[in-house]
Chains A and B, each alone.
Chain A
Amino acid sequence: MKTNKMIISWSWREIWSGQLWPVMVALTLIIACVVALSTLALRVEKVMTNQGRDLLAADLVLRSSNPIPELLVEKAQDAGLTISSQSRFQTMAFSDEKLQLVTVKSVESSYPLRGSLTLRDANQSAKNQVKAGELWLSPRLFSILESKVGDIIAIGDAELPITGVIEEEPELAYNPFNSIPNVFIHSSDLDKTGAIQIGSRVRYRLFINGDPTSLAAFQESYELQPGESWVDQNRESRAVRLMDKAKQYLSLTILMVILMAAVTLILTCLHYVRNRSETVSMLKSMGSSRAWLRTWLTTQVLIMFISAFVVGSTLGLLLEYLLRVPLADILPQELPNVGVQPFLFALGVALCIGLPALLIPLTRLLDAPAINVIQKQSVTYSKTSWWLLLLPFTALVVFYGGNKLVWMVLIGLLVLFVVLAGLSYGFLQLLSKLKWGAAFSLALSRISRSPKNSMMQLAALSGSLMLVALIWLVKSDLLGDWQQTLAPDAPNVFSINISPEQQQNYLQELDKSGLPHSDAFAIIRGRITKIKGQETNELAAYQDPEVRILKREVNFTWMDQLPIYNEVVAGDWTGEKTVSVEQEVAEELGLQIGDTMTFEVNSQPFTATVNSLRAVEWQSLKPNFVFIFSKDAVANLPSTWMVSFRAEEDQTPLVNELARAYPTVTLLDLRTMATKVQSLLRQISWSLTGLAALGVVAGILLIFTLLRLSLSERKREITLYRTLGASKKRISHTLWAEYGLLALSGGFVAAIAAEVILSALMIWGFELSPQWHPSMFIVLPVLAMIVVFVSLRSVIKSLMKPLR
């Protein structure tokens, strides 16, 4: 018992003084990453599956931008299907004091057909259907509107007392940017709100339940009209796709962290074995049995695994929390329990990587012969433990065998590292063309004498620096882009859904209040039906899932002059019955100047000729349109109006007054949206910082390990130089020059690589315009040199100790 204690405390010290601790840190990182990612993934997955049908609120849903035809409803009833219909729209809700944009869902008492709706009224009793005259608010609204149950709330023109709170509802929207709270009213109260008028944006849903065969038959027999689509469980929601994408980005970063940790692990173990083979020989000469040595090494391995597991799991849960913060709005309050699965999984991954990395070198250590204490001998090591290598590979094949992405990423990473190594090496060769002092020339020749070693160091150095830079830059670019859109004098409130009769008065009202505003734009909702005389659904572009504009309703407007903030890239704003098209959409649809297009508004077709193409900056938050018509083309069509204006903080009462005077006009207040977006971005940036921290630790640990190992391996060579009489100064200058140059070129190449990958990410991943970061070309090499300096200072110092 006491012996065991001694072995444990010895092992603990062996781990720290024997430089095995990077193994422990690497294992901790691996476990933390896997725990975090798999906990999060499991949670989200559970939420999604728990809510599969609940999410739809029925077995099958017909979604439409037009009212559901009565005929269809009858047909469904004849087929023995249960139905329920819903219309939803956005409008303003007013209490005595406050106002808020809300999503109104007007439902029948039969809603929902699937999933649960829990409403709690003043008596705390739970209801699960909405009745005529009732008004239910989502919990947030009570504080926003400073109201309580029983208070009167105006929804558009209708005034209703609050019946109670929505505790649980189906059809949760998984959209982090959708911060608009819900209210439920009964469909019989819909007309009173006055919010529905021609041209206002209302979406309709027909919920259908029934046995699968009649459902399928019904779906089969109905021909979808423009603007209609089916939604069933099999169709992935946008939210699920969004989550999948997020998961992929996360996995990529984490995969990099794991790879770096794994390399650290292997290198450290190899070094440990080289350092400790003498100790093992000595223990053997003193008569320790193999069994004893095995216990000794196993204790070390166990200590490392257990500590890494405990610390890593804790860190992992913390990281999971950080990653989850931005999702707070879309995940339910009560998160599903994930149990021990993530921990087992993390342990599995750690074992798959750790066992071969640790046991192969350590069993070789057991082979160190006793005679080595007296005479150094070359040893043939047994290869019996090489089978352990099968562990990570079988695991990869079993779990990801069919997943091309994983393999592509792995291969991509390998290629990336090779490219990075090559580039930095090339850069060094360039440097060597220049005239340098003696120390630098010596250092450069030394680097090119062992290209394999140098390349590996360079790859690790630039790879981890690049990763660190990338995570950091993505974060700051995303934040910066949003800050830019909130320019100081840009309009920050949009009024939409203004009826033609209200338009003149509304503008006068704005002028009177002294709120600087844009011109009013007509909003006409319609769709494209033909291009150059050909039906849109016969076009090739119609089949392209990326081209959505042919399948939905679009906001049209007319203008006398094109807005000055849109650059005309082709054609001229002239001619009669013409339309100007945004250039990217024009490209998608293959439109050219002079092409004719046919549109339909309220079943009224009309034709216009393309006269110009415009470049539009969508994220500028100025009123922008894909199609701008000449007045003669659309002026007679039914429209609503929109105007944007700028309100400062102290003008909020004016805005509220305006909203009350025109209750059916919808106000999109970007000021509240912007704070929402900013807080979301802040949360995301916290998550990214958490991830970045892991990446930085893994990267620096790897660089640190590599550098220290490469130096201590050269201990003998350096001692030899010193015995031969090279001055301490000369040697330390050469060493610093060598590693300084490595850092310089590694940092420089990391900056190039980070810029390239970042631009690609910004263009294709986030659809933003890329920026250059010249400062990176200084920051990264300097950072690299600092890391080099910190990791090597003590080693070089100890190498320079007086010879004995």
Chain B
Amino acid sequence: MSQSIINVENITKSVISNDNELSILKGISFNINEGESVAIMGTSGAGKSTMMSLLAGLDLPSSGSISLLGSIISDMDDEQRAKMRSESIGFVFQNFLLIPSLNALQNVTLPMLLRGNEDQEDNERKAKKLLAEVGLSGRETHLPTQLSGGEQQRVALARAFVTQPKVLFADEPTGNLDQKTAKTIVELLFAMNKEQGTTLVLVTHDPELAKRCQRTLIMNAGQCQESA
């Protein structure tokens, strides 16, 4: 039996909007084990992104508890959660979110810098290796504006994996890409996931992508179900 890495127990999330309490998540529980790949699907507005930001500790649930890597995230303060993210969590976003003033290589070394890895030479060596893996060797000094969308997302992948995170969250990583490019990104994502044994949580509208995952959670109107 492999170890639980994310455990969600009866969480709810509601927000106040225009003086009304809006309930987005309505009592959700599930468990994700180490090394699993999980897809979260559902209609637009179902609460997928909200769910993911809670799992990653970017926000806190209104009630219930989430344990991530053995710690209850509600018990940690902002700085502690940031520290945990820098040490064990990676992200890939729909809109890539590279730093425009840094070149590809520097964007990839950034997470190591945030972690406190001071050895820049070592950082750059690791980053170069990752960039080569995503097929971007020779493009290290290019700025994000000089790269296509697919290439930017590849840099983002390299950035996410360079710290060998325990969990990788991806919110519609292929949402902004054409089909062909999306496919290569998915291939890369799973290849690296396999190589590093990373736990993968990804939100997607793409059933093809969901099929590649071991499990699929379907969200609907603030509820969550395991798909068959």
The residue that B149 contacts in the complex, of A2, A6, A283, A804, with Cβ under 8 A, is A804
Number of chain A interface residues as a range:
20 to 34
Contact of B22 with A by CB under 8 A:
no
Instruction: Report the Cα distance A621→B113, complex, angstroms.
Output: 77
The segment from B77-85, B129-137, B210-218 found at the interface with A is: B77-85
Instruction: Report the Cα distance A16→B102, complex, angstroms.
Output: 12
Q: Looking across the interface, which residue of chain B has its beta carbon closest to that of A7?
A: B113
- Cβ A13 vs Cβ B149 within 8 A: no
Centre residue among B84, B87, B111 by max chain A CB count within 10 A:
B111
Instruction: Report the Cα distance A493→B12, complex, angstroms.
Output: 100
- Cβ B118 vs Cβ A2 within 8 A: yes
Which residues of A are found within 8 Å of B72, using beta-carbon distances?
A: none
- Cβ B83 vs Cβ A375 within 8 A: no
Contact of A14 with B by CB under 8 A:
yes
Which residues of A are found within 8 Å of B100, using beta-carbon distances?
A: 17-18, 279
Contact of A402 with B by CB under 8 A:
no
Instruction: Report the Cα distance A283→B87, complex, angstroms.
Output: 13
Instruction: Report the Cα distance A659→B49, complex, angstroms.
Output: 100
The segment from B29-37, B50-58, B182-190, B194-202 found at the interface with A is: B50-58
- Cβ B91 vs Cβ A286 within 8 A: yes
Centre residue among A1, A10, A287, A289 by max chain B CB count within 10 A:
A287
Instruction: Report the Cα distance A369→B99, complex, angstroms.
Output: 17
The residue that A3 contacts in the complex, of B59, B85, B113, with Cβ under 8 A, is B113
Instruction: Report the Cα distance A286→B113, complex, angstroms.
Output: 11
Which residues of B are found within 8 Å of A17, using beta-carbon distances?
A: 100-101
Q: Looking across the interface, which residue of chain A has its beta carbon closest to that of B78?
A: A290
Q: Looking across the interface, which residue of chain B has its beta carbon closest to that of A282?
A: B97
Contact of B106 with A by CB under 8 A:
yes
| Interface of chain A residues 333 through 378 with chain B (CB within 8 A) | 369-371, 373-375
- Cβ B82 vs Cβ A284 within 8 A: yes
| Interface of chain A residues 281 through 308 with chain B (CB within 8 A) | 282-290, 292
- Cβ B79 vs Cβ A2 within 8 A: no
- Cβ B120 vs Cβ A287 within 8 A: no
| Interface of chain A residues 14 through 33 with chain B (CB within 8 A) | 14, 16-18
Given contacts A373-B93, A374-B53, A374-B93, whether A13 and B101 have CB atoms under 8 Å apart is yes
Q: Shortest CB–CB separation between residue B104 and chain A, in angstroms?
A: 14
Which residues of A are found within 8 Å of B114, using beta-carbon distances?
A: 283, 286-288, 292
Which residues of A are found within 8 Å of B56, using beta-carbon distances?
A: 285
Which residues of B are found within 8 Å of A13, using beta-carbon distances?
A: 101-102
Contact of B6 with A by CB under 8 A:
no
- Cβ A6 vs Cβ B53 within 8 A: no
Contact of B89 with A by CB under 8 A:
yes
Q: Shortest CB–CB separation between residue B68 and chain A, in angstroms?
A: 13
- Cβ B118 vs Cβ A3 within 8 A: yes
Contact of B168 with A by CB under 8 A:
no
Given contacts A2-B118, A3-B118, A374-B171, whether A287 and B58 have CB atoms under 8 Å apart is no
- Cβ B53 vs Cβ A289 within 8 A: no
Q: Looking across the interface, which residue of chain B has its beta carbon closest to that of A6?
A: B120
- Cβ B58 vs Cβ A373 within 8 A: yes
- Cβ B115 vs Cβ A287 within 8 A: yes
Contact of B86 with A by CB under 8 A:
yes
Q: Shortest CB–CB separation between residue A469 and chain B, in angstroms?
A: 38
Q: List 28 A-B contacts (CB under 8 A).
A: A3-B118, A6-B106, A6-B113, A10-B106, A13-B101, A13-B102, A17-B101, A18-B100, A18-B101, A285-B91, A286-B85, A286-B86, A286-B91, A287-B83, A287-B86, A287-B89, A287-B114, A287-B115, A288-B82, A288-B114, A289-B86, A370-B58, A373-B91, A373-B93, A373-B97, A374-B52, A374-B171, A375-B50
Residues of chain B at the chain A interface (Cβ within 8 Å): 49-50, 52-53, 56, 58-59, 78-79, 82-87, 89, 91, 93, 97, 99-102, 106, 109-111, 113-115, 118-121, 149, 171
List 14 additional contacts besides A6-B113, A374-B93; criterion CB under 8 Å.
A2-B119, A2-B121, A6-B120, A13-B101, A13-B102, A17-B101, A18-B100, A288-B114, A290-B78, A292-B114, A371-B53, A371-B58, A373-B58, A373-B97
